[in-house]
């Protein structure tokens, strides 16, 4: 099983590089030829398929500029020592368990309650607050379950996380708000 | 999530299209597919997919609900065969081509891409081949050619099977509503991060809400969509049931009242509720979700009443929870989902018989969990202290290495029928038992007297071939054994969008 978990930190958000200025090709009319394995009377054939049938551009849809943010974190007001949960799109699919904040990291577990299946994607976003209740920085935990693997055990519904306080915020954060912006089960 | 540009164009996608070794020329031809009489052509195609439904799932459903001497509806279809389902590794060549590297156990994404686009791809890929090149789907081709299109599922509509017809994504986990690099990018395929305006890393919900691939979209997964998606849907003329902005799921009453050419109805924020739970809790809000046969009936009605220019419709229907409850090794719920799926087949078949020009295909994407029917009163390897005996002192030809004594039940692993006396033991590997119509009237589920004993090999997919059943024009091609990529050809020819 190829399992990749990592923690990344950010105050601002990771900016995805500008899209290379490749000439627009919305009118591309490439034709893919497929050779298919066919039995039961279906012979391998070459077929011309209009690639433009696949819609690949969406005018009006703004491209993502980085990792997901949730405004609900900034709107929360945890008091010293508190760990709050902010609203996210999947709050009815999990429970937070055993959350702690020792001044250097927030830790705990997300237990998925909606599916008995592998957790493909999970992101836990933590907002760190100072004594005055100001959001001073964020960190995130990212879980990604690779697909090109042989399953070696039963689906895991509980994912532990630990999100360190960014070094620049050392000794300033006194409370945390947590939210889950990304959750996908198989 | 911050978004930058109001204009969304794909660039690297195009490069990939051009770069693909398969690109050979200009298109338009398929849209002008042969109009001559074709005995395999159908006006409509209804493609029903039992996710994770292996041959034994069907047999167990038959025995549970109809009895040993009867058949499920799907088993009454005249053309019957089996489908091979293997996937390939990342960056593999296609079968018979250089660099071909099979992966013998598929996931739902790779399998959906096989029948939707006719190519083998890697597990997790949707609408792209094993090297990441976008490949058009049957639903896109049908839509382009003037067919009405529908996509129905008991899963989140962004889940692999429905998404395989109406999205193109490097990774099935890129479902939305928010982009994340981990969920959407795949550097093993692309080498470097794709710009976030590339369709292949665009959240699937964003794609579905904007590409108009399916006219009728019914299922779950409301949480994947946001207000901007609802706006985009309405701008395309969709009647949106419930409320995306308020995250209020639609109900079966909303579905019953739905009208119009384009309908978008999601009935749960996540996957739809399993049938057994709704049956056991009829007063629960979840019981207001429509069943799969109800959604199938409505989709056929909406698509059939609005066909134009002599064109028919192409409808995909997925019974997704067969797989999800098989992953959980919950035989009672698995069986109820199989029955609901078969009831949907009945709806489709009844329409096809009335219509006289509809191809109905019933199949699966892969088997899930090694579902099996074991002999009443016996035990499985999972319950045993050792595997079955492999020694015969009287005939050395029957012995091989390693030799073993006769196996025996391990009481710590087999503490009673799991839906009966052993139900309190979370570590119990014993079978679940179910009464059948052939059993005496006083026989109950979970008892040793029940005749249907069911067990699971694992909690994951297996590489077994899956059954296929078909009725109507072109169905004869599905008699025998086919690969899942051939389903693209057969259905595409029936619709006359593939030559």
B412 phi/psi in degrees, rounded to 5: -75, -20
Indicate the CATH number for domain B39-371+460-495. Answer: 3.40.720.10
pTM (two decimals): 0.88
CB contact under 8 A, B14 and A25: yes
Q: Is the pLDDT of residue A21 over 60?
A: no
Calculate ∠ Cα A145-B331-B159, nearest 5°.
35
- What 3-state class would DSSP assign to B255? helix
Task: Nearest by CB to A68, from B1, B119, B168: name it.
Answer: B1
Q: How many CA atoms within 13 Å lie on the side-chain side of B416?
A: 10
Position A10 confidence tier, pLDDT thresholds 50, 70, 90: very low
DSSP assignment string, B341-410: HHHHHHHHHHHHHHHSSEEEEEE-S-EETT-EEE-TT---GGGBSSPSP---TT-GGG--SSP-PPP-B-
- What 3-state class would DSSP assign to B233? helix
Residue whose tokens read 């577990």:
A109
With contacts defined as CB-CB under 8 Å, which chain B residues touch A69? 1-2
Count of A–B CB contacts within 8 Å? 298
Q: How far is CA B416 from the centre of its chain?
A: 33
- Report the gap between the CA of B488 and the closest CA in chain A (Å): 9
Neighbours of B426 (CB within 10 A): 6
pLDDT at B169: 98
B373 phi/psi in degrees, rounded to 5: -105, 115
pLDDT at B392: 72
- What 3-state class would DSSP assign to B242? coil
Task: Give the CATH architecture of domain A3-14+72-185.
Answer: Sandwich (2.60)
- What 3-state class would DSSP assign to B209? helix
pLDDT at B395: 74
CB contact under 8 A, B122 and A55: no
- The domain segmentation of chain B, as residue ranges, is 39-371+460-495, 373-391+400-455
pLDDT at B320: 98
Neighbours of B227 (CB within 10 A): 13
Ramachandran category for residue B427: left, alpha or beta (phi over 0 → left; psi -120 to 50 → alpha)? alpha
H or E element that contains B84: strand B79-84
Q: How many CA atoms within 13 Å lie on the side-chain side of A108?
A: 25
Average pLDDT of chain A is 76
CB contact under 8 A, B2 and A63: no
Taking only the tens place, the pLDDT of each residue in A54-104 is: 999 999 999 999 999 999 999 999 999 999 999 999 999 999 999 999 999
A87 phi/psi in degrees, rounded to 5: -70, 140
The interface predicted TM-score of the complex, written ipTM, equals: 0.88
pLDDT at B482: 97
Question: Nearest chain B Cα to A185, which residue?
Answer: B173
B269 in reach of chain A (CB within 8 A): yes
Exposure string over B350-372, b if 16+ CB within 10 A, otherwise e: ebbeebeebbbbbbbbbbbbbbb
Residues A124-137 have a mean pLDDT of: 97
B30 in reach of chain A (CB within 8 A): yes
- The domain segmentation of chain A, as residue ranges, is 3-14+72-185
DSSP assignment string, B415-447: -S-TTTTTTT-TT--PPEEE--TTS-TT--TTS
B278 in reach of chain A (CB within 8 A): no
DSSP state of B3: B
**One pLDDT digit (tens) per residue for chain B, 499 residues:** 433 333 333 434 433 443 332 322 223 333 333 444 578 899 999 999 999 999 999 999 999 999 999 999 999 999 999 999 999 999 999 999 999 999 999 999 999 999 999 999 999 999 999 999 999 999 999 999 999 999 999 999 999 999 999 999 999 999 999 999 999 999 999 999 999 999 999 999 999 999 999 999 999 999 999 999 999 999 999 999 999 999 999 999 999 999 999 999 999 999 999 999 999 999 999 999 999 999 999 999 999 986 666 799 999 999 999 999 999 999 999 999 999 999 999 999 999 999 999 999 999 999 999 999 999 999 999 999 988 888 776 777 777 777 777 788 999 999 999 999 999 999 999 999 999 999 999 999 999 999 999 999 999 999 999 999 999 999 999 999 999 999 999 999 999 999 8
């Amino acid at each position: 099983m190829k399992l990749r978990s990592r923690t990344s930190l950010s105050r601002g958000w990771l900016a995805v590089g500008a899209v290379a200025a490749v000439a627009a090709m919305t009118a591309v009319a490439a034709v893919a030829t497929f050779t298919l394995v066919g039995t039961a009377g279906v012979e391998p054939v070459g077929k011309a398929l209009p690639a433009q049938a696949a819609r690949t551009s969406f005018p009006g849809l703004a491209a993502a500029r980085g990792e997901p943010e949730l405004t609900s974190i900034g709107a929360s007001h945890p008091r010293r020592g508190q760990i709050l949960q902010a609203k996210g799109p999947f709050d009815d699919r999990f429970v937070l368990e055993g959350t702690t904040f020792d001044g250097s990291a927030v830790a705990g577990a997300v237990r998925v309650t909606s599916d008995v299946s592998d957790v493909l994607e999970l992101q836990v976003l933590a907002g760190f607050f100072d004594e005055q209740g100001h959001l001073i920085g964020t960190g995130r935990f990212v879980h990604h379950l690779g697909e090109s693997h042989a399953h070696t055990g039963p689906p895991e519904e509980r994912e532990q996380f630990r999100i360190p306080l960014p070094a620049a915020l050392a000794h300033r954060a006194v409370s945390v708000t947590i939210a889950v912006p990304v959750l996908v089960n198989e | 999530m911050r978004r930058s540009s109001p204009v969304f164009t794909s660039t690297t996608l195009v490069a990939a299209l051009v770069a693909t070794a398969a690109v050979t020329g200009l298109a338009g031809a398929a849209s002008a597919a042969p109009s001559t009489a074709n005995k395999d052509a159908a006006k409509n195609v209804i493609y029903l997919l039992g996710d994770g439904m292996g041959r034994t799932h069907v047999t167990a459903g038959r025995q549970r609900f109809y009895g040993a001497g009867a058949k499920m509806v799907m088993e009454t279809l005249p053309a019957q065969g089996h489908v091979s389902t293997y996937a390939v590794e990342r960056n593999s060549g296609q079968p018979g081509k250089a660099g071909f590297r099979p992966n013998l156990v598929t996931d739902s994404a790779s399998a959906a891409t096989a029948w939707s686009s006719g190519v083998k791809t890697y597990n997790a890929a949707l609408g792209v081949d094993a090297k990441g090149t976008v490949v058009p789907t049957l639903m896109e081709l049908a839509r382009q050619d003037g067919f009405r299109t529908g996509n129905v599922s008991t899963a989140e509509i962004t889940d692999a099977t429905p998404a395989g017809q109406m999205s193109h994504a490097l990774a099935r986990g890129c479902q939305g509503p928010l982009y994340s690099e981990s969920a959407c990018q795949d550097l093993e395929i692309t080498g470097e991060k794709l710009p976030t305006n590339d369709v292949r890393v665009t959240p699937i919900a964003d794609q579905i809400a904007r590409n108009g691939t399916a006219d009728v979209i019914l299922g779950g997964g409301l949480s994947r969509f946001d207000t901007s998606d609802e706006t985009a849907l309405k701008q395309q003329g969709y009647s949106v049931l419930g409320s995306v902005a308020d995250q209020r799921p639609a109900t079966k009453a909303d579905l019953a009242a739905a009208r119009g050419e384009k309908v978008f109805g999601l009935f749960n924020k996540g996957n739809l509720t399993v049938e057994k739970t709704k049956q056991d809790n009829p007063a629960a809000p979840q019981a207001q979700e429509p069943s799969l046969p109800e959604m199938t009936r409505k989709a056929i009605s909406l698509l059939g009443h609005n066909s134009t220019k002599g064109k028919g419709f192409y409808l995909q229907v997925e019974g997704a929870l067969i797989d999800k409850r098989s992953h959980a090794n919950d035989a009672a719920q698995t069986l109820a989902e199989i029955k609901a799926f078969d009831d949907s087949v009945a709806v489709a078949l009844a329409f096809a018989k009335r219509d006289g020009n509809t191809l109905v295909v019933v199949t699966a994407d892969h088997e899930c969990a090694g579902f099996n029917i074991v002999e009443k009163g016996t035990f499985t390897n999972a319950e045993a202290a050792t595997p079955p005996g492999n020694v015969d002192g009287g005939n050395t030809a029957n012995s091989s290495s390693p030799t073993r004594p006769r196996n025996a039940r391990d009481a710590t692993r087999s503490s009673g029928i799991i839906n009966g006396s052993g139900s309190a033991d979370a570590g119990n590997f014993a079978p679940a038992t179910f009464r059948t119509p052939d059993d005496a009237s006083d026989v109950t589920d979970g008892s040793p007297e029940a005749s249907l004993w069911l067990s699971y090999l694992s909690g994951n997919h297996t590489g077994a071939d899956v059954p296929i059943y078909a009725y109507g024009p072109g169905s004869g091609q599905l008699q025998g054994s086919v690969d899942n990529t051939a389903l693209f050809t057969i259905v595409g020819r029936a619709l006359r969008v593939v030559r």
